[in-house]
Amino acid sequence: MSNFSLTLRNHVSEISRLVDRVEAFGAEAGLPPDVTFRLTLALDEVVSNVIRHGLRDRSDHSVSVSVRVADGMVTAIVEDAGVPFDPREAPVPNLDAPIEERTAGGLGVHLVKATMDEVEDRRAGDRNILTLRTATQSRDAV
């Protein structure tokens, strides 16, 4: 089993630190490049949304990210004290509409749901706990 945990400050500049750590973890854990890419994309989007939209005040907050590989699955957990938000309830964007007619928002959440095999959300006290799972096997190999 491989794993790591990372505590980020609620600053957009922390996203690059997250991306670097996830990419290094993917290499260390021997994950196929497409699995590492999908995990990085999903975590980048989730944590960016937490920082930009979930933590609305200007005070310091932390966002906890943990990732583990076990039993053929990669599981990532993002925990924050932002406003309640369940990405599973976000409407699916109309990808067929011309770009100028689309409403803002929702595309990133759509990408997270499309790149991960499972997305679970729960609220524990004042904390959002988002769990993302995907198989360690490359989708190209399926």
Q: What is the CATH number of domain 2-141?
A: 3.30.565.10
What are the angstrom distances between the C-alpha of 136 and each of 29, 69, 122? 10, 8, 24
The token pair at 4 is: 């790591």
Q: How many CB atoms lie within 10 A of CB 92?
A: 9
| Structure token pair of residue 142 | 């399926």
CA pair distance 118, 112, nearest whole angstrom: 10
- Give residue 66's pLDDT band: very low, low, confident or very high (50, 70, 90): very high
Please tell me the predicted confidence (pLDDT) of residue 142: 46
pTM of the model: 0.85
Q: What CA dihedral angle connects 105, 90, 123 and 48, to 10 degrees?
A: -20
Tokens of 12: 């957009």
Q: Which residue has the tokens 């904390």?
A: 127
Residue 89 contacts residue 121 (beta carbons within 8 Å): no
* Nearest in space to 19 (alpha carbons), one of 55, 53, 48: 48
Average pLDDT, the chain: 86
Under 8 Å between Cβ of 89 and 119: no
**125 compared with 57, residue with greater pLDDT:** 125
The residue-averaged pLDDT of 28-34 equals 96
Domain positions in the chain: 2-141
- pLDDT one-digit tens code per residue, 120-136: 999 999 999 999 999 99
How many other CB atoms sit within 10 Å of the CB of residue 73?
14
pLDDT in tens, 83-126: 887 666 665 655 555 555 545 555 567 788 889 999 999 999 99
